[in-house]
Structure 1
């Protein structure tokens, strides 16, 4: 008995020593984010002509999470989410806008809690990734676009041992003479006469190599942001030559209008870019076809493919340097994009939507000694899981505030399961992704449901199909639970929102005569003359213009610019809004 006890204590002591040794030897971690990179990478098969040999090779060294999604389909909220480890609802950031009015949110969004770039939900005790690793004894370096703006402004300059902002003089583009540049709705795109060494992403990648080769007595957290394929879609001519315009394949389309079965709210999103109804009454896709037909569309696809290949090349420089150094054999590497990107699917361009094309991202994890190389995992995961995963591999404690879950259990056990990933575009517009299904619920209660096993492109909305009714109710309950249980970022100072605001009636109905084509079209859609409508709010449009948002009796939402209102109506609606706000206090 004593001998058994002695052996047990001896083994326990040895385990403790090994544990202390393991804790003392913290691992290096490298986190790479490629801006606006959707699933058009070779290993995900998003486009048959995409060339990403370096990203594909990285996937063979690690685990490819083939069902990974951002938590918000625009740059700023996505990046703030994965850097803070918090869902957008928890950190208060839903859109790219940097002011308290969040002016870039679409006018058809209801009046919901919003916050500026420094949400009160993330005080000092809720550290960003860089801050936490710095306090844990790491050397922390960051280069390129990691945050939506200088990383030091978000995490604090004191948290960074070295930083290279993409737009600083040493890292910007040089000699960007255009070889075959064109202009369209997205501005400049096409081939340049630059050498790779003159481009910003090349410089950032080689700055990262220098940082990697810098020897210190501290473990390293290195975060690197590659800017392309973010617009403008311009890279050196050699990358365009790999994708001859006559050979370009357009994204696969259904052959029918796959927006017909969408709710009205979703149709609005389809017509939106990430900023505005720029070419109203045409959508961006309609405008591209109007200006140049399919040829113009092909040029855009070619430019995106060329930019992806350029980004892959710069990533390859860094990955090669990591392999050459023996430290790289024990280093965790995570590579991903900040959100997806539409190139005409559902008639939509850019991001800013809850369909899979806007949210699906490559997500590759190399975890030496933890995961089997070359594994593909189809469990639903999201970018908010990055922070806790890096902590677990590094051997440092995870902060208590994290919303995400570590991927280490999935890396160790490929048979382990995850329920769902959640994506937000505004406070109550939420998508849920399971291993097989995508369910989207909008703030007005309308929804979409897709079976990715039979409909991977999301061409047929099954939300009204009786065969899916039971499943739909289960997924709906999951979204409502997520919305109810995820902490509200500004709950200590709740602003007027759809739940709290009493719905006020405009009596009589707004009676101003519309003055322009835009107002006339919106007026006709809303039928505001025919019957009284519900007044939602007076707001500010994405262009900084005052507007009135209304809801017709049939539930249609629409906005009318204040310039189109009579002074009588304007004063009347302002008084209604004031009364509504008083009722909330």
Structure 2
């Protein structure tokens, strides 16, 4: 039977409508991909977009050059696992329950990856999560157990564990690129969490960086020999002084044989060297063997000052050596996005789980609300949205990431999230940003490094901190006049009005975020119940 004119007309109309629908679909804006890059303990001082005195990080800097550099980004609780819980949940530690590295993460918390996955995003996580072995909201994950190892690391997957030979920073990137190349669904937007172990203690560089970095000498921090004169009961007792608490064996790679010859007793083994295969150990010994021999010869002539300087230099050589590999590998991922045509519709974030002390106040580690651990690096690029090369000094926190990602994806954030989306700042709409202060609370005491419990408020001009539990001490810092935070002016009559205003503002933030002395006491009782605090 021959087709009638009417049949042909309807067929033509159907094809036209279908074609128009497909064209409209192709023209519809696609949801942005999200690449979240986070390192562990990466100090902003060790990113050359912030300061190039210590190291050049050209690939991380690319994110700032093509996007935005935040100069007032901070964390809500400067310690690894709690920081990550805040990022995932968009809630302060006292709300999500992950107050420290000891307590388990409450898996009934709803995380932003779960919400993005539900909204149609393909999701993946590779690298260091640092709590829990089965993260929710991910189509695929390969994560390090706990702290993980620098060499020949074990990875946890949904189907079982696997050990991969090589250097962890390179391997984490290999896994990430493998997913992007081979299992990414091109029809879906994706959210990728690319999480580095480095530069976490015990700071083991990749072999290709041994020789270069162990020969470097770095400028000494102005506060390396801080005596904590106005902070004797708060900063003074902390156990993270480079001279007193940084170990020669675990941290600085001095061998048992040398320590025995020098009659030095230490209890921590050299972190990670037991993971080497024979070839890796031989390569290590070629460079670190002579360092041990030189130390053996020099040690007898060292006093406290010269030993402090020697330790600082060894610390920086290895710490910054691990960052060199992070920067190279960030470049690999950025290059892939460029080469595959993904850059234009992908927002890329680089940050750390908190800041870190690189000799300031004589310290390593973090935990305090003082600047170097409170402040965290944050660089974001989003083509056609962020003006390249922008610097932003508004006060933002890791608390804000979840709501930012949800808004980027067009997903409504749950009402109980406590942050603020950064999208207005990314778009240059500063008039829509109304935050003038941020809140901080640290809980893990008594514990490693002996940093006392404290909470506080920071504005661009001042920082007010209350240390509690076994002390009752207030500190105030004038951030403009005293950027190194050496002088506690809480009892200075000239600052009485500032103290009064900040206490009122602090009480307002505590009420807003639903924190209180009563809740703090509950967490203290939790420590007592676990036997971490004596009754």
What range is the shorter-chain TM-score in? Answer: 0.7 to 0.9
1:387–1:147 Cα change, 3 Å:
farther
**Is the Cα–Cα contact under 8 Å of residues 39 and 199 in structure 2 kept in the other structure?**
yes
**Is the Cα–Cα contact under 8 Å of residues 63 and 371 in structure 1 kept in the other structure?**
yes
- Tell me what 1:80 maps to: 85
SS of the equivalent of 2:175 reads helix
Question: Out of 504, 510, 514, which is 1:477 matched to?
Answer: 504
- Tell me what 1:463 maps to: 490
Kindly provide the CA deviation profile for residues 106-135 of structure 1, in whole angstroms up to 9, marking residues without a partner as x.
xxxxxxxxxx422xxx73xx5212111111
- Tell me what 1:31 maps to: 36
- Tell me what 1:332 maps to: 347
SS of the equivalent of 2:342 reads helix
Kindly provide the CA deviation profile for residues 461-487 of structure 1, in whole angstroms up to 9, marking residues without a partner as x.
222222222122222222222223323
Q: Partners of 1:91 and 1:148 in 2: how far apart?
A: 13
Deviation at 1:218, TM superposition (A): 1.4
- Tell me what 1:10 maps to: none
1:477–1:254 Cα change, 3 Å:
farther
Q: Partners of 1:267 and 1:171 in 2: how far apart?
A: 32
1:496–1:365 Cα change, 3 Å:
closer
Counterpart check, 1:217 vs 2:187: yes
**Is the Cα–Cα contact under 8 Å of residues 70 and 78 in structure 1 kept in the other structure?**
yes
- Tell me what 2:171 maps to: 203
**Is the Cα–Cα contact under 8 Å of residues 166 and 204 in structure 1 kept in the other structure?**
no
**Is the Cα–Cα contact under 8 Å of residues 166 and 172 in structure 1 kept in the other structure?**
no
Counterpart check, 1:48 vs 2:53: yes
Kindly provide the CA deviation profile for residues 198-253 of structure 1, in whole angstroms up to 9, marking residues without a partner as x.
21221111221222233432110111101100122111243243335452222222
Counterpart check, 1:412 vs 2:395: no
Deviation at 1:75, TM superposition (A): 0.5
**Is the Cα–Cα contact under 8 Å of residues 344 and 382 in structure 2 kept in the other structure?**
no
Question: Out of 83, 92, 105, which is 1:117 matched to?
Answer: 105
- Tell me what 1:140 maps to: 123
Question: Out of 53, 57, 62, which is 1:57 matched to?
Answer: 62
**Is the Cα–Cα contact under 8 Å of residues 224 and 363 in structure 2 kept in the other structure?**
no
Q: Partners of 1:254 and 1:95 in 2: how far apart?
A: 28
Residue pairs, 1:214-363, within 5 angstroms:
214-245=184-215, 247-253=217-223, 257=227, 259-262=228-231, 264-268=233-237, 270-271=238-239, 289=304, 292-363=307-378
Kindly provide the CA deviation profile for residues 74-102 of structure 1, in whole angstroms up to 9, marking residues without a partner as x.
1011000110110112112221103xxxx
Kindly provide the CA deviation profile for residues 342-375 of structure 1, in whole angstroms up to 9, marking residues without a partner as x.
2332233211222111121110111222221110
Question: Out of 393, 396, 400, which is 1:378 matched to?
Answer: 393
SS of the equivalent of 2:84 reads helix
Aligned length: 434
Deviation at 1:172, TM superposition (A): 7.1
1:538–1:208 Cα change, 3 Å:
closer
SS of the equivalent of 1:350 reads coil
1:482–1:310 Cα change, 3 Å:
same
TM-score, normalised via structure 2 length: 0.72
Q: Partners of 1:72 and 1:434 in 2: how far apart?
A: 16
**Is the Cα–Cα contact under 8 Å of residues 332 and 365 in structure 1 kept in the other structure?**
yes
Q: Partners of 1:21 and 1:456 in 2: how far apart?
A: 52
**Is the Cα–Cα contact under 8 Å of residues 430 and 479 in structure 1 kept in the other structure?**
no
Residue pairs, 1:534-545, within 5 angstroms:
none
* Structure 2 spans left out of the alignment, 5+ residues: 1-22, 154-163, 253-265, 267-302, 445-452
Q: Partners of 1:498 and 1:390 in 2: how far apart?
A: 30
Kindly provide the CA deviation profile for residues 409-455 of structure 1, in whole angstroms up to 9, marking residues without a partner as x.
11222644531222210297213222232222223542222222232
**Is the Cα–Cα contact under 8 Å of residues 475 and 488 in structure 2 kept in the other structure?**
yes
Q: Partners of 2:140 and 2:310 in 1: how far apart?
A: 45
- Tell me what 2:479 maps to: 452
TM-score, normalised via structure 1 length: 0.66
Deviation at 1:300, TM superposition (A): 0.6
Q: Partners of 1:490 and 1:438 in 2: how far apart?
A: 20
Q: Partners of 1:495 and 1:45 in 2: how far apart?
A: 35
Counterpart check, 1:95 vs 2:100: yes
* Structure 1 spans left out of the alignment, 5+ residues: 1-17, 99-115, 176-195, 502-536, 549-585
- Tell me what 2:296 maps to: none
- Tell me what 1:185 maps to: none
**Is the Cα–Cα contact under 8 Å of residues 68 and 362 in structure 1 kept in the other structure?**
yes
**Is the Cα–Cα contact under 8 Å of residues 130 and 144 in structure 2 kept in the other structure?**
no
Deviation at 1:45, TM superposition (A): 3.7
1:237–1:289 Cα change, 3 Å:
farther
Q: Partners of 2:235 and 2:313 in 1: how far apart?
A: 26
- Tell me what 1:106 maps to: none
Q: Partners of 1:289 and 1:45 in 2: how far apart?
A: 31
Question: Out of 122, 139, 142, which is 1:164 matched to?
Answer: 142
